[in-house]
């Protein structure tokens, strides 16, 4: 993670700059794999959290699979060395071309989100002389206790197949000759730090499994999705999430059938803390309440504060001032929501100072846009810094 003593080595780079600590990434991946190993759990990386080539290559080297939500993510995962038989494909709006790509490349499975989608997959697979492995993505109606924009497992969310359509699928299953129903999939939301939520998910999955079994269905695979949160408030003291506690919770509460394989899809927890967005202060300007520090990074580089009211820890790496002052930190884009933080304490900040915005490795650079015709941020990896 970026520290004050690295400043002299970073100031030669243009900002905004995404810095990735590959050593921290490596340690995080190792911890995750080690924590899953005792239970033989399989981990897929949710590519949408970060699709940088070097990040994907590190993750692939640790033996994880890939969880993709578009055809291009499938292409990228294959290009970075993920084997097709470790790729899963989710999303409520898979296009025909994306489905065909998944079939052509023989990915492990499609996580299906509607009955109509299963119909389309069945038809396309038939026309290609293939058989598709499918999971039903079910909406377990579990409260994730996270921001409403990143809650996905409540009844009102657009994700997952509802109970009526699940029943219809089971009665029609024998007619779907070109799909093989192999598992159940769940993903209830993101940035979940309360393990009670994963306990509740496990208990709900047990009930759902019983129900399927009572209808004579054997479930070969369970995919519990992702969602494990990270510590945004104090990343330096908590650089690696509690993977052991996370997997232990599922081990404790999930009732598995003999031979059943369990899969997870982690995004944020694997890559968030290794990324730091670096930015220079352009102007200090007085506001009604606080001073504004206007910086050269914006919502086009990091959308999370504007989109989810996310709060990232920010530090001034340049200032040696003893005194701290209150600032609102804002970007240059013409939107009132282009604000990274309100009312935060920073060491006295001046034009030209270097600010670090922490925990930006997940859902940061991938959400960049060209709004206001801004240049994209540059990227640097820790082993490239001299």
Binding site residues, ligand PLP, CB under 6 A: 46, 48-49, 67, 69, 90, 187, 190, 225-228, 265-269
CB of 267 to ligand PLP, least distance (A): 3
Query: What are φ and ψ of residue 145, in 5° steps?
Result: 50, 50
CB of 192 to ligand PLP, least distance (A): 7
Query: What are φ and ψ of residue 93, in 5° steps?
Result: -130, 55
Which C-beta is closer to ligand PLP: that of 156 or that of 320? 156
Which C-beta is closer to ligand PLP: that of 44 or that of 374? 44
Which C-beta is closer to ligand PLP: that of 17 or that of 32? 32
CB of 292 to ligand PLP, least distance (A): 31
The residues, any chain, with a CB within 8 Å of residue 64's CB and separated by 6 or more, are: 29, 33, 43, 44, 45, 82, 86
Which C-beta is closer to ligand PLP: that of 327 or that of 358? 358
Q: How far apart are CA 78 and CA 86, in angstroms?
A: 10
The residues, any chain, with a CB within 8 Å of residue 378's CB and separated by 6 or more, are: 13, 14, 16, 17, 18
CB of 54 to ligand PLP, least distance (A): 19
Which C-beta is closer to ligand PLP: that of 166 or that of 190? 190
Please give the torsion angle defined by the CA atoms of residues 75, 77, 82 and 85, in that order, rounded to the nearest 10 degrees: -60
CB of 297 to ligand PLP, least distance (A): 22
CA–CA distance from 245 to each of 173, 199, 248, 335 (Å)? Answer: 38, 11, 5, 40
Which C-beta is closer to ligand PLP: that of 132 or that of 346? 132
Q: How far apart are CA 134 and CA 118, in angstroms?
A: 8
Which C-beta is closer to ligand PLP: that of 73 or that of 315? 73
CB of 158 to ligand PLP, least distance (A): 12
CB of 25 to ligand PLP, least distance (A): 15
């Amino acid at each position: 993670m970026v520290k004050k003593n690295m400043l002299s080595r970073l100031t030669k780079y243009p900002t905004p700059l995404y810095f990735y600590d590959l050593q921290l990434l490596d340690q995080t991946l190792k911890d995750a794999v080690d924590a899953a190993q005792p239970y033989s759990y399989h981990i897929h990386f949710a590519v949408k959290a970060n699709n940088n080539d070097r990040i994907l290559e590190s993750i692939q080297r640790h033996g994880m699979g890939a969880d993709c939500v578009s055809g291009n993510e499938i292409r990228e995962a294959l290009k970075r060395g993920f084997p097709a038989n470790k790729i899963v494909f989710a999303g409520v709006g898979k296009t025909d071309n994306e489905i065909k790509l998944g079939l052509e490349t023989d990915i492990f499975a499609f996580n299906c989100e509607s009955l109509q989608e299963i119909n389309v997959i069945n038809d396309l697979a038939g026309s290609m002389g293939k058989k598709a492995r499918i999971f039903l993505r079910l909406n377990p109606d579990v409260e994730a206790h996270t921001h409403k924009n990143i809650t996905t497992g409540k009844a009102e969310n657009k994700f997952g197949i509802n109970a009526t359509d699940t029943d219809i699928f089971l009665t029609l299953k024998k007619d779907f000759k070109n799909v093989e129903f192999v598992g159940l999939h769940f993903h209830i939301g993101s940035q979940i730090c309360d393990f009670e939520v994963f306990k509740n998910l496990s208990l709900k999955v047990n009930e759902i499994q019983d129900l399927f079994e009572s209808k004579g269905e054997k479930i070969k695979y369970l995919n519990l999705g992702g969602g494990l949160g990270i510590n945004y408030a104090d990343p330096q003291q908590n650089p690696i999430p509690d993977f052991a506690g996370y997997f232990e919770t599922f081990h404790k509460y999930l009732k598995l059938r003999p031979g059943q394989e369990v899969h997870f899809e982690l995004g944020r927890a694997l890559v968030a803390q290794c990324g730091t967005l670096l930015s220079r202060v352009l102007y200090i300007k007085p506001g009604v309440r606080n001073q504004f520090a206007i910086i050269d990074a914006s919502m086009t580089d990091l959308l999370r504060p504007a989109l989810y009211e996310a709060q990232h820890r920010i530090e001034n790496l340049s200032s040696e001032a003893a005194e701290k002052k209150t600032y609102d930190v804002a970007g240059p884009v013409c939107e009132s929501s282009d604000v990274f933080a309100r009312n935060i304490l920073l060491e006295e900040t001046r034009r030209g100072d270097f600010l670090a915005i922490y925990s930006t490795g997940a859902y940061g650079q991938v959400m960049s846009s060209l709004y206001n015709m801004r240049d994209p941020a540059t990227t640097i990896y820790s082993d490239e810094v001299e």
